[in-house]
Amino acid sequence: MKSSKPTQSDPAASHDKAGEVLPIEEVSMGSGTAQLLDTYTLDVEGMKVEVRIARKADVYVPFYEIKIPGLAEGTRIILDTQIKGELIGEVNVDITELLDARKNKYVRDQFFSKTTKVLLRHFPSLTQENLRILSAYMMQYTLGLGDLEPFLHDEKLEEIVVNGSRQPIWAFHKKYGWCVTNIVLKEEKSIQDYAAAIGRRVGRQINMLNPLMDARLVTGDRVNATLFPISTNGNTITIRKFARNPWTPSMFVQLDTVSADVMALLWLGIQNEMSILVSGGTGSGKTSFLNALSTFFPPNQRIISIEDTREIYLPSFLQWVPLSTRPPNPEGKGEIKMLDLMVNSLRMRPDRIIVGEVRRQREAEILFEAMHTGHSVYATLHADNADQTLSRLTNPPIDIPKSMVGALDMIVVQYRNRRTGIRRTFEVAEVDEKGDYKVVYRWNPRTDRLDKIDEISSLADRISLYTGMSLKEINADIDEKIGVLNYMIKKKYTDVEVVGRVVAEYYNNRDGLLKAIEKDLSIDDIMKKV
C-alpha cells in the first residue's frame, strides 16, 4: 500500500521535464481476485480523482482505492521547495477568513489565482489541464489537509479515521460501511502535523502536555485527535463529516427509514408547536432526523439552534439563528458552553429552539423550563428506546423531576443496525401530562416496517384542545400531509431548499398547493401562480 502523496519512485522520474504530470497512478489491489462494487470520480479542487471500491477474497471489509494523478519527481521537488515558499510570501491569508464559511471560498479562489500565476512563471509551457492539477496539489498541501483531502471531498463518506502510521486510513462509506483504503500516512509526525494544523485554525493545541483534542473544520466536520502514548498504537485522527446535502423528510421516506404516515404525524405535531425529543444510539442518525423535522417549521417564526458543532442546516428563507459553543483558549478563557447559549436563546424571542444534544442536568432543566414557558423545543438524547429515554431524563446524572417531563409531547427513537448498516425509526411515542409514555409506532425487524401499536390519545387531546379538531379531522389532516410527502417523493424533491418551499406553500397557500398537486404541477409552476 502506498502513500497518497502523488510521487513516483522510478529513478528516471528525476530526468522528466519539469512541470510534467504523469498519468493517473494505478495502485495495485494486491493478490487474489476482486469483485468491483462501485466506481466514481471526485473533483478535488479541480483535480479529478478516481475512486474504486471492491471486495477482495483475502480482505474482510470492502477495499476503497483512490487513484490520483502522479507528479514527476523533479516537479514535486520544485513545488515543495520553491513554489510553496513563494506562495507563502505572496499570499497573505488571514486565518479568520479561512474559518469564515462565507469568506473561505473567496480566499481559496484568490489563492488559486496566485498559484496559477506563480506556476506559469516557473513552467510557462504548462497545459491547462496540468496547470489545474498542479494548482490543486498546491491548494491541498498548503491550505488543505494534504493526503486527507480526497476523502474530505467524497460526500459518500461519513467518517475518516487515521489509526497510526502502521495502518492504512479507514473510511466509513454510507453504502458499504467501514472500508480499508490504499492510503497510508507513513510517519507519526505527519499525523501529528495534520492534527496540529487543524487545531491552530480554531485556537486549540495538541502536544505532549495536551494529547487529546476536539476541533472542527470550516466545513463543519468534527475532528478528534490523540497522540502516542495515550493511543498506544500511534497518533490518531477521527473526522466525522458534516452532511453537505442536509437530510429532508422526503429523503428519509424514500430510503424507508421512516414511513410517510409516521412522518406526517410528526409534521402535524410540529405544525401545532409540539416539543419533540429524538433519541438513539451513536451514529443512528439523530441529528440528521432532527434536521429533517426542522424543515416543517412555518416560515413566519424565529428559530434558534444550539450545537457544539454546526450540523443543522435549514432552508435559507427561514428566520434562523444558528449558535455554536466555543472551547476555552490555551489560557483557559473565553469558553461558551451549551448552557450559556440555552439561557441566552430565551432572551432572543424564539418561536422554536433546536438543541443539538442534551447531556447534563442544568441543560435539561433549562430545556424543559423553556417548554413550560410556551416554547417549542426539539433536541437529541442518547437512548435506545422510549423507556430508556424517560429513564435517562429522570435519573442521574440528568435527574429532572417526572412532573417536568410532561411538557414533552413526543419521543422519536432512531436505530442503526451495525451489521447491515441500515438506519430506521425504531419507535414513536407520545408523552402525557404526567410524564408517562405510550408507544404509537414500533419498527418490526422481520417485515422491516413501522407497525402501528396504538392510536394517539394524549397527543390528539392536546391538538384538539388548541385547534378544536376532532380525531376524525386529525386523521384526515395526516392523510393530507401524506399526500404532500408522496408528491415530493414522486417529483424527487429532496433538496432542503425545495422541500422547504413546498412546506412553506402548504402553510401559506394550502388549498392552492393541494389543487396543484392534483394537477401534478411542479413547485416552480406553483410559485409562478402565487
In a domain, 517, yes or no: no
Residue 48's domain comprises 11-240
Q: Any idea what the CATH number is for the domain that residue 65 is in?
A: 3.30.450.380
CA dist 309 and 325 (Å) reads: 7
Mean pLDDT across the stretch 21-29? 44
Decide if pLDDT at 59 tops 50. yes
| DSSP strands (E only) in 230-342 | 236-240, 276-280, 302-307, 319-324
| Amino acid, single-letter form, for residue 14 | S
Looking at the fold, whether 197 and 342 belong to one and the same domain comes out as no
* pTM score: 0.77
Q: Which of 427, 450, 466 is the last residue of a domain?
A: 466
Looking at the fold, whether 325 and 457 belong to one and the same domain comes out as yes
CA dist 397 and 117 (Å) reads: 59
> For position 14, what pLDDT does the model report?
34
Looking at the fold, whether 450 and 322 belong to one and the same domain comes out as yes
How many separate helices (H) and strands (E) can be counted in the chain?
19, 20
Decide if pLDDT at 251 tops 80. yes
Q: Any idea what the CATH number is for the domain that residue 378 is in?
A: 3.40.50.300
In a domain, 475, yes or no: no
Looking at the fold, whether 153 and 265 belong to one and the same domain comes out as no
Q: Which residue has the higher pLDDT, 333 or 278?
A: 278
Domain count, the chain: 2
Q: Which residue has the higher pLDDT, 175 or 270?
A: 270
In a domain, 441, yes or no: yes
In a domain, 99, yes or no: yes
C-alpha dihedral over 297, 517, 466, 306, to 10 degrees? -10
Q: Which of 216, 240, 264 is the last residue of a domain?
A: 240
Looking at the fold, whether 392 and 332 belong to one and the same domain comes out as yes
Looking at the fold, whether 233 and 261 belong to one and the same domain comes out as no
Mean pLDDT across the stretch 257-279? 97
CA dist 78 and 525 (Å) reads: 56
∠ Cα 438 440 443 (to 5°): 120
Sheet strands side by side (includes 222-226)? 34-44, 47-56, 63-67, 177-181, 170-173, 157-162, 236-240, 222-226, 212-216
> For position 147, what pLDDT does the model report?
87
Looking at the fold, whether 283 and 361 belong to one and the same domain comes out as yes
Looking at the fold, whether 267 and 207 belong to one and the same domain comes out as no
Q: Which residue has the higher pLDDT, 86 or 156?
A: 156
> How many of the other CB atoms lie within 10 Å of CB of 351?
16
In a domain, 112, yes or no: yes
Looking at the fold, whether 222 and 272 belong to one and the same domain comes out as no
Looking at the fold, whether 129 and 226 belong to one and the same domain comes out as yes
Mean predicted lDDT score pLDDT of the chain? 86
Q: Which of 205, 240, 275 is the last residue of a domain?
A: 240
Q: What are 390's three cell numbers? A: 424517560
> For position 530, what pLDDT does the model report?
54
Decide if pLDDT at 72 tops 70. no
In a domain, 378, yes or no: yes
In a domain, 1, yes or no: no
Looking at the fold, whether 86 and 194 belong to one and the same domain comes out as yes
Of the candidates 188, 167, 169, the residue with the CA atom closest to the CA atom of residue 179: 169
Looking at the fold, whether 235 and 293 belong to one and the same domain comes out as no
CB 134 within 8 A of CB 87: no
419-465 per-position pLDDT tens digit: 777 899 999 999 999 999 999 999 999 999 999 999 999 999 999 99
In a domain, 4, yes or no: no
